[in-house]
Structure 1
Amino acid sequence: MRLEDFMRKQVVTATATTSIREALALLKQNRIRHLPVLDNQILVGIVSDRDLRDALPSSLYARSDDHIIMTKPVQEIMNTEVITAHPLDFLEEAAKTMYEYKVGSLPVLEENKLVGIVTESDILYKMIELFGVNKASSQIEIEVEDRYGVLAEVSQVIRESKVNVSSVIVFPSATEGKKNLVFRVTTMDTRTVTSMLRDKGFHVLDPIRGEFLRD
């Protein structure tokens, strides 16, 4: 999935001369945490709710210059080294970028024009959707040999059990030479399919043998 498929296209922005007070109001009114800063429609920085909080005077002390601080332009506190993305970047690439650079959002640029923004919440929610966790379903995890065709073999058994698969994740196993397959299936009763998998010699890690449905 590419960013253009789910990025927020109606982006709330500020200008370099927007005051700290005005920026705080924009964040509150729009229930957002990141505010791209534009100058003549060009992205020149980004300011977050944390940046704004850090710029504010402590509530423990009354200062005569509090009003002056609130009227300062965001250009004095904004981050000018903005990490960005492109509309055709994949979701997982954006997630990796946000993790590596420790940022909570990525302004999305196309030909140097701001066309959208994605936040860590957007990424997390979309991954929940892709994994099928937001729908009634169950998880089946199987440890298999890391060899050609094994995914197709497991999928065939699940197909024969007449259970529908909503998502599949493949990741390395803790055991050398093996990998784990995690299937999200659209049933709350996995006893039949897990029994069939075990009968075919597959090592089912989850659900554990002997688990039963609660009333």
Structure 2
Amino acid sequence: MLVEEIMKTEVITLQRNDSVEMALKLLHENHIRHIPIVDEENEVIGIVSDRDVRDASPSIFDEDVNAKELQHPIESIMTTPVITVHPLDFVEEVASIFYDHEIACVPVTRNDQLVGIITEKDMLYTLIQLTGTNVQSSQIEVKVLNKPGMLPQVTQVFGKRKVNISSVLLYPYKQDDAYKIIVVRIQTMNPLPIIEDLKAAGYEVLWPKMPGMTP
């Protein structure tokens, strides 16, 4: 899945000389948590979060309601330089950027121009879609040897039952790197027939643990 498929293209922005007060107003009115700061050519020069703005705002107990802090230019609190991604980047790669840099938002640029934005909420929703947990389904985890050709062999068993597969994931088997786990989510609420087929084919089903079933 590409970034351009999940990014928001209507992005609220500010320029460097706009006030902290304006940022506070935009964050509140639009229920957003990040605002990219752009120049006259719509190039991203910084970004501010709701936390940046709160930290720069006067206390609610401050008697001076027209506190000068709110009139400071937004460039005084923005984060720069800004990590950006391209519309044709893969979502999976962007997820690693979120994790590695401990950020919650990335602007999307093409030819240095701002064209969209992705937040951690967008990433989580995309993960839900990719894993198929947004539809009624059952999850089956199968332990297999960590060697080429295992995935098509396992999915052949599912194909015999003509069930719709929502998603397929693979991850390491922590106890022994000679094995891996294939996680298949299928659109049925009764996975027992397929589990029995997998067992009959010699595969070890780790999940679900059905009563009375042996490994």
**TM-score category (smaller protein):** over 0.9
3-state SS of 1:155 partner: helix
**Does residue 131 of structure 1 match 2:131?**
yes
**One-letter code aligned to 1:11:** V
Indicate the residue corresponding to 2:201 in structure 1.
200
Q: Does the Cα contact within 8 Å between 2:58 and 2:70 map onto a contact in 1?
A: no
Between 1:155-164 and 1:186-195, the stretch displaced more is 155-164
**One-letter code aligned to 1:81:** P
Q: Would you identify which runs of 4 or more consecutive aligned residues in structure 1 move more than 3 Å?
A: 63-66
Q: Deviations over 1:85-116 (max 9, x none)?
A: 01111001111011111111110111110011
CA distance in 1, matches of 2:143, 2:85: 36
How far the C-alpha of 1:39 sits from its partner, in A, is 1.4
Indicate the residue corresponding to 2:149 in structure 1.
149
Q: Deviations over 1:161-213 (max 9, x none)?
A: 222111100111112200000001001111111111111110101110228xx
Q: Does the Cα contact within 8 Å between 1:141 and 1:206 map onto a contact in 2?
A: yes
**One-letter code aligned to 1:104:** A
Q: Deviations over 1:119-146 (max 9, x none)?
A: 1111110111111100111100011011
Q: Does the Cα contact within 8 Å between 1:43 and 1:113 map onto a contact in 2?
A: yes
How far the C-alpha of 1:151 sits from its partner, in A, is 0.8
Identity in percent: 41
Relative to the length of structure 2, the TM-score reads 0.93
**One-letter code aligned to 2:210:** R
Q: Does the Cα contact within 8 Å between 1:140 and 1:204 map onto a contact in 2?
A: yes
3-state SS of 2:67 partner: helix
Q: Does the Cα contact within 8 Å between 2:170 and 2:180 map onto a contact in 1?
A: yes
Indicate the residue corresponding to 2:57 in structure 1.
56
What do you get for the CA RMSD once the two structures are aligned? 1.6
Q: Does the Cα contact within 8 Å between 1:138 and 1:186 map onto a contact in 2?
A: yes
3-state SS of 1:24 partner: helix
3-state SS of 1:195 partner: helix
3-state SS of 2:198 partner: helix
CA distance in 1, matches of 2:72, 2:152: 61
How far the C-alpha of 1:42 sits from its partner, in A, is 2.0
Indicate the residue corresponding to 1:35 in structure 2.
35
How far the C-alpha of 1:63 sits from its partner, in A, is 5.4
How far the C-alpha of 1:21 sits from its partner, in A, is 1.3
Indicate the residue corresponding to 2:165 in structure 1.
165
CA distance in 1, matches of 2:81, 2:154: 47
CA distance in 2, matches of 1:103, 1:148: 36
Q: Does the Cα contact within 8 Å between 1:161 and 1:196 map onto a contact in 2?
A: no
Indicate the residue corresponding to 1:177 in structure 2.
178
How far the C-alpha of 1:57 sits from its partner, in A, is 2.4
Unaligned residue ranges in structure 1 (runs of 5+): none
How far the C-alpha of 1:27 sits from its partner, in A, is 1.2
Relative to the length of structure 1, the TM-score reads 0.93
CA distance in 2, matches of 1:209, 1:153: 23
**Does residue 112 of structure 1 match 2:112?**
yes
CA distance in 1, matches of 2:147, 2:80: 47
